[in-house]
Structure 1
Amino acid sequence: MISNFDKLCVDLEKQELEAPTGVASPSTYAQLLVIYLYQNDLCNAKFLWKRIPQSITSSNPEITAIWAVGQKMWKKDLAGTYQALASYNWTEPVANIIRALEERVRERAFYLIGRSYNSISLDTVVSMTGLSRDAVLRACAERKWTLREDGVTVDPTPPAQPTPLHTSSEDQLFKLTEFVTFLEN
């Protein structure tokens, strides 16, 4: 299933490639840069930033602000990422993608916390998710994470892992043997 952002990404890449002068519009660059960040495709975001003409980046503070978010993501600075996201008054249509990006970064942080920690301080969760203390407490309760009696330590529950679709080597060999036998007949 392809998401709306994936489709928009393909359309924007096409617009960039087919730009009559070889230079796309600032709006195209801004949206594409944010979508790459949304997709956590930091390499493509960095390459896009490098190929945007200097005249566009210097005259469009929104594109520079988007790249500031990308730099924080590149450095895995979650607290800095949330600060960079909140430090600019985003315009449409970029604002819509920015909101989705912020939510995705936050969900990724919760997922990583759940997978990586047996216990973690509430203040660290606040920093890693960019939420207020009350919002973190609600989010932890929704995830069935336990707040210890000290009121400052959270015990995350690991996220549910999908059942792997691995088959044993013997099963694979059996299927291959059946297939070869079928082809020989």
Structure 2
Amino acid sequence: MELPLSIQQLSKLAESNVSPSQLFGILSQYEADARLVSAGCGSPETGSADPELLSFFYASFFFAHLLTKQIPEARALTQRMPEAIRLQDPCLKNCLILLRAVWQTQHAQVYQILRNLQWPENLQPLVRRYDSFFQDQTLISVSTSYEAIRLPAAAVYLGLDLAAAEQEDPTIIEKFTQCGWKWDSETKLLHPTPIIVPSTVQKATNGIHDAMAMLGNRGG
């Protein structure tokens, strides 16, 4: 029997604009199929497991967990991954590194992992999507946690160019003032305006990235 799980279907799903909850729900239904593929390893009846398919599925499902802010559940998922590919596959190794950085809220490291590590081409849409989502969620958190913050520190939180922030680059400052933040040129401090997003506001593409759209190009 041909299983519904395939690289082609996963690629289309990764590139789609389904909401994070829909993405998670669809991939949840595929996990049983992934177990069947994994169980085929070494079986004369079913043939060998497909490591590329398993890697793509588990990496996609991992990012679906992150996009729905299910961090403990993402950690549990890594324990359900077939051990052979979890320990050897470069993409799943990247996922484990990313999970550790997210778990420890190491913002700069999260951006570095997402933007600088080698991710498979067909997974790139989800990697970029989570980059935007993480940036937006961090912006909201910083805006409600600080009354004042230095520009370089804010840049690190948002994955922006630190060297440019240290030079008080106007384009970096503008990324924050476009959010309604105030820049005090005398004290060299940013004064955030709290961003409150209703729980009912859920965008189908990049978290709330389209709704806010104030950071421009990431990192720049």
Classify the TM-score, shorter chain: 0.7 to 0.9
Match 1:16 to one of 23, 31, 39 = 31
1:90 match: secondary structure: coil
Percent identity, please. 20
Change (3 A) 1:131 1:40: same
TM-score (norm 1): 0.78
Q: How does 1:129-168 map to 2 (within 5 A)?
A: 129-132=158-161, 133=165, 134=169, 136-150=172-186, 152-160=188-196
1:16 offset after TM fit, Å?
1.2
Q: Give the structure with the higher percent helix.
A: 1
Whether 2:55 is the aligned partner of 1:26: answer: yes
Matched residues in 2 for 1:92 and 1:4: separation?
21
Aligned position for 2:149: 120
The amino acid of 1:89's aligned partner reads Q
TM-score (norm 2): 0.66
The amino acid of 1:147's aligned partner reads W
Structure 2 unaligned residues grouped into runs of 5+: 1-16, 39-52, 199-220
Change (3 A) 1:4 1:93: farther
1:35 offset after TM fit, Å?
1.4
Moved over 4 A (4+): none
1:7 offset after TM fit, Å?
2.3
Matched residues in 2 for 1:137 and 1:80: separation?
22
1:17 offset after TM fit, Å?
1.6
Matched residues in 2 for 1:109 and 1:120: separation?
14
Aligned position for 1:100: 129
1:53 offset after TM fit, Å?
1.5
Matched residues in 1 for 2:109 and 2:22: separation?
29
Aligned position for 1:178: none
Matched residues in 1 for 2:182 and 2:54: separation?
49
Structure 1 unaligned residues grouped into runs of 5+: 163-185
**Structure with larger RCO (C-alpha < 8 A, sep 6+):** 2
1:94 offset after TM fit, Å?
1.5
Whether 2:108 is the aligned partner of 1:79: answer: yes
Aligned position for 1:70: 99
Report the number of matched residues. Answer: 161
Task: Give the superposed CA RMSD.
Answer: 2.1
Q: Tell me if structure 2 keeps the 8 A contact 1:123–1:152.
A: no
- Cα distance per residue 1:146-178 (max 9 Å; x no partner): 11123731011112465xxxxxxxxxxxxxxxx
